[in-house]
Amino acid sequence: MEQTWNNKVLSDVFGADEGLGLRIKQVALVLVGVLVLAVAAKIKVPMWPVPITMGTFAVLTIGAAYGARLGLVTIFAYMIIGALGFDIFASSSAEASGLTYMMGGTGGYLVGYVLATLALGALAQRGWDRSVGWMALAMLIGTVLIYVPGLLWLGQLYGWDKPILQWGLTPFLIGDALKLALAAVVLPTVWKMVGDARR
């Protein structure tokens, strides 16, 4: 990898990198990112013991591809649109949406989305997204950052006498492991393609 690419994420190597062109690119990336997050949240892949939703995959991948700052703007834009009542979260609907939905059982995971986006962006800016091993570790860290506030939120909301781990963790581990493996391969592969194209 060229030395000049250090501290850059994938979104930095395409399109304008200064002035008005950069601002237009950033706005476009945020809009595309919000759309990807909204669509991914609604995708459910059949799996045992529960279907795999692609929302966390999109959150972690966008965090790594956009970097911490642009990733944070994107995830906040996604949250604001959701807070306004649009049906863009995994289990939201016309009847359950907006702030009421966000303050329910999913609230902690949404907080985790923000933390994971920041972490993945920061780690990608340090080059962790260039290799499968480092990217897998970054994805694992991001996944933990989603689950910790999610489980704490569930415990506070429903009580620690309830089966919190069975509700909010164990059914999703197999699917999350598969998503982690997929993302760990995707970003380094894209970096390799970019590198090959620039040689």
Confidence class for position 115, pLDDT limits 50, 70, 90? very high
Query: Beta-carbon neighbour count of residue 83 at 10 Å?
Result: 16
pTM of the model: 0.89
Helical (H) or strand (E) element with 45: strand 44-45
> For the stretch 137-166, what's the b/e string if a residue is b when 16 or more beta carbons lie within 10 angstroms of its beta carbon?
ebbebbbebbbebbbbbbbeeeeeeeebee
- For the chain, the average pLDDT equals 89
Rounded CA-CA distance 122/112 in Å is 15
Q: Can you give the pLDDT at residue 4?
A: 42
Q: pLDDT digit string (tens) for 126-177?
A: 999 999 999 999 999 999 999 999 999 999 999 999 999 999 999 999 999 9
pLDDT score for 46: 83
**What is the tens place of the pLDDT at every residue in 88-103?**
998 777 567 788 889 9
Q: For residues 63 and 47, which has the higher predicted lDDT (pLDDT)?
A: 63
From the list 88, 80, 28, the residue with the least C-alpha distance to 58 is 88
Q: What is the pLDDT of residues 32-44, one digit of tens each?
A: 999 999 999 999 8
Mean pLDDT of 50-71: 92
